[in-house]
Amino acid sequence: MPAMLRVRMPRATPSMSDNEPINMAETATAAIDQLLGLLSDEAEPPKTLLPLKTAVAEGDEGNIAAALYCVMVEQCLDYDMVGGLLYVRWQRTRTRMAPCGST
């Protein structure tokens, strides 16, 4: 019976291996820009985006983190990704239920 070889796999390391602090304002600003770029023409921005922008302007990292979390939750609950764009869930459903622009 052949002997089993144990191969040591390298451990995954986080991208910030030096424990660099995360700049929450930069992270949130990038998330805002990315989210706005993903919205379809019909989709309104999430309502939670304004409190996030306010938190970034005030610079309180705890508030930024909480507001960013709220935006992510709203995005997950109220938006669907279709063809690389975000649609408000009810808009996509309505479009599917009423094809060809009928009401």
Does residue 5 sit within a domain? no
Structural domain containing residue 31:
24-101
User: How does pLDDT run across 28-38, given as a tens digit for each residue?
Assistant: 999 999 999 99
pTM of this structure = 0.68
Predicted local confidence at residue 53, as pLDDT: 97
37 within a domain of the structure (yes/no): yes
pLDDT at 98: 38
On whether residue 93 sits in a domain, the answer given is yes
Q: Which amino acid is at 94?
A: R
Distances (CA, A) of 101 to 17, 42, 79, 87, 89: 52, 14, 21, 16, 17
Q: How many domains does the chain have?
A: 1
17 assigned to some structural domain: no
Assess if residue 80 is contained within a domain. yes
- Specify the pLDDT at position 90: 74
Residues of the chain with pLDDT under 50: 12-14, 94-103
User: Does any domain span residue 52?
Assistant: yes
For residue 30, being part of any structural domain is answered with yes
Q: Which residues pair with 39 in a beta bridge?
A: 86
Tell me, what's the pLDDT at 102? 38
